[in-house]
Structure formats: structure tokens, C-alpha cells
């Protein structure tokens, strides 16, 4: 049986990730030639809008308490996956996580230095989010302090050519680099392609494998597998032509042939929030 996975760093996996990070020490990443899945290291300055969601109280101090990703779409506004702030991930209601922060401008989470840590003032979860189908998987975080203006990325509206099938895109995150619980210290990126909706509809027709909804979801990766987001990358950005087109959401395994990554479609988020003319 295949197992459908959201791509948040589930709480039971935190200890394993912490042990691994301690074993490699602060000198470097777990696997320099691997990715998110199948990618390469990047400096935070290359994608200043990519942020880490952090709670040391819930996830420990190793890797600064990172458990998900996010993306700054306004100086005080960060998008992430709704399931990242679910009680199952956080171990309780999000309003009780007193140290929830976003970390911006920091490449190496193990060093605990560089960039900024900004408290989350308010969390809005899409009320239409369905945790079974993953439809509507997004949340809006309002920050207590503004980020620099150059830390914000523009969003691709519906009909933007950035969504075209075959378009080159890049996904960013600090998640598992192998699909086997290997969590790096430093930010990674993987180059993928926007895939046809029909391919994901065939891969995820419903049932226990999940259902693909083209209005609210976007399919990206490589048909033969090998490049993908993975656990710990949830909520992070998928970028094409310099614009945000998706948020890491779910998939079957990581980097498997025939099981491409599924992202929350940003044009759908904009439509839901009335941001279509931003």
C-alpha cells in the first residue's frame, strides 16, 4: 500500500532529525550532492522570501526548531501550508505555541546565527481546508515586525505563463534530502517542471492515495521521479519565472516515478483571498 504524506516535519520524526544533525556537526550539510530531493545547496540571499517556520519548544533547539517552510508575499505576510499549523503537527492549538516564529535570511539553521527571527502575531487558516483531500492547503501568517522589502516575492495570477506545462520551476526548503529521514542544516533547492494536470489526476484519482484537484492544486516534478520536495518542506515556495506559483503540500513518498509532488496553486489562494488583482 502506498502512503499519502503531507510534507510537514511530523513531531515523531523530530528526534531522529535532531540526532542526525548532531552527528554531522556544524561543519556542513548531510549530503552535499542531494536536495530537497535531487537538488543543490543555495544561499538564503538567493531566495530571501523563503522562510523557515520554527518552534524550539515543540521541535527542539537543533536546526532552530524548524518544522516547515513558508514564503513572504508581503513585508508582514507569510504563506504556508494549512497542515503545518494543524494541531497534529504542533501538538496542540497553534495559539498555544508561544514561540512560533519565522526565520528569514538564514541559510544554515544549525548555526543559529544570521538572518532574523520574527514572531508570528496572527494565524489565519483557510476555513475550506480539507485535511483528508488536502484541498485548500494554505494558511496566512501575520508577522509582529516587517521584513525588508526585498524579502518579498510576487505571486502569479491565474493565466500567468509561469503555470504553463513544461515550465522550469524551483522548489526550496530544509526538508529531508533522501526520503529516509536525512535532514540537512542548510537551505536546498531542486529544479523541477510544471507537469500536466492529467498526469496528476491519473496518479491521484482519489481514495487512500489522495485526490488531485486542478483548481486548487499544481503538479510539479519529473515524470521519471528523482526531483521533489519531501518531509519538512511543507509550505515552502515553488517559483517559476521569478514568481510564486505553488506551496509544497503533499505526495506519495518523495521523488518516486509516477507520484509527482503536489503543490497548493497560488492563483487559487489569490482567488480565495481576493488578491487576484495584487
Do the Cβ atoms of 177 and 34 come closer than 8 Å? yes
* 234 among known catalytic residues: yes
Helix (H, G, I), strand (E, B) or coil at 48: coil
Q: What are phi and psi of 82, to 5 degrees?
A: -60, -35
CA 171/CA 221 separation, integer angstroms: 9
* 83 among known catalytic residues: yes
**Long-range contacts of 96-101, Cβ-Cβ distance < 8 Å, separation of 24 or more:** 97/55, 97/57, 97/58, 98/57, 99/54, 99/55, 99/56, 99/57, 99/65, 100/53, 100/54, 100/55, 101/53, 101/54, 101/55
Closest among 182, 194, 190 to 223, alpha carbons compared: 194
Q: Which of 6, 83, 151, 186 is catalytic?
A: 83
* 137 among known catalytic residues: yes
Residues 6+ apart with CB under 8 A from 90: 55, 58, 97
Q: Which of 6, 47, 186, 234 is catalytic?
A: 234
Q: Which of 55, 86, 108, 137 is catalytic?
A: 137
Residue with cell 483571498: 273
The catalytic site residues sit at 83, 137, 234
Amino acid at each position: 500500500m502506498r502512503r499519502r504524506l503531507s510534507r510537514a516535519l511530523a513531531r515523531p520524526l523530530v528526534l531522529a532529525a535532531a540526532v542526525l544533525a548532531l552527528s554531522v556537526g556544524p561543519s556542513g550539510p548531510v549530503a552535499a550532492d542531494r536536495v530537497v530531493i535531487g537538488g543543490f545547496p543555495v544561499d538564503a540571499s538567493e531566495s530571501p522570501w523563503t522562510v523557515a517556520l520554527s518552534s524550539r519548544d515543540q521541535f527542539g533547539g537543533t536546526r532552530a526548531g524548524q518544522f516547515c517552510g513558508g514564503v513572504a508575499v508581503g513585508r508582514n505576510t507569510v504563506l504556508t501550508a494549512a497542515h503545518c499549523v494543524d494541531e497534529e503537527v504542533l501538538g496542540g492549538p497553534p495559539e498555544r505555541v508561544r514561540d512560533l516564529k519565522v526565520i528569514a535570511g538564514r541559510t544554515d539553521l544549525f548555526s543559529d546565527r544570521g538572518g532574523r527571527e520574527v514572531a508570528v502575531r496572527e494565524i489565519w487558516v483557510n476555513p475550506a481546508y480539507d485535511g483528508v483531500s488536502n484541498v485548500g492547503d494554505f494558511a496566512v501568517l501575520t508577522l509582529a515586525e516587517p521584513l525588508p522589502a526585498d524579502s518579498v516575492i510576487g505571486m502569479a495570477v491565474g493565466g500567468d505563463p509561469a503555470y504553463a506545462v513544461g515550465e522550469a520551476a524551483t522548489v526550496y526548503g530544509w526538508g529531508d534530502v533522501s526520503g529516509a529521514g536525512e535532514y540537512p542544516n542548510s537551505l536546498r533547492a531542486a529544479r523541477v517542471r510544471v507537469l500536466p494536470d492529467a498526469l496528476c489526476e491519473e496518479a491521484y484519482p482519489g481514495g487512500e492515495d489522495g485526490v488531485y484537484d486542478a483548481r486548487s492544486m499544481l503538479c510539479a516534478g519529473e515524470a521519471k521521479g528523482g526531483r521533489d520536495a519531501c518531509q519538512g518542506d511543507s509550505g515552502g515556495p515553488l517559483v517559476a519565472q521569478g514568481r510564486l506559483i505553488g506551496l509544497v503540500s503533499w505526495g506519495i513518498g518523495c521523488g518516486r516515478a509516477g507520484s509527482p509532488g503536489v503543490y497548493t496553486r497560488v492563483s487559487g489562494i489569490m482567488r480565495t483571498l481576493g488578491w487576484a488583482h495584487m
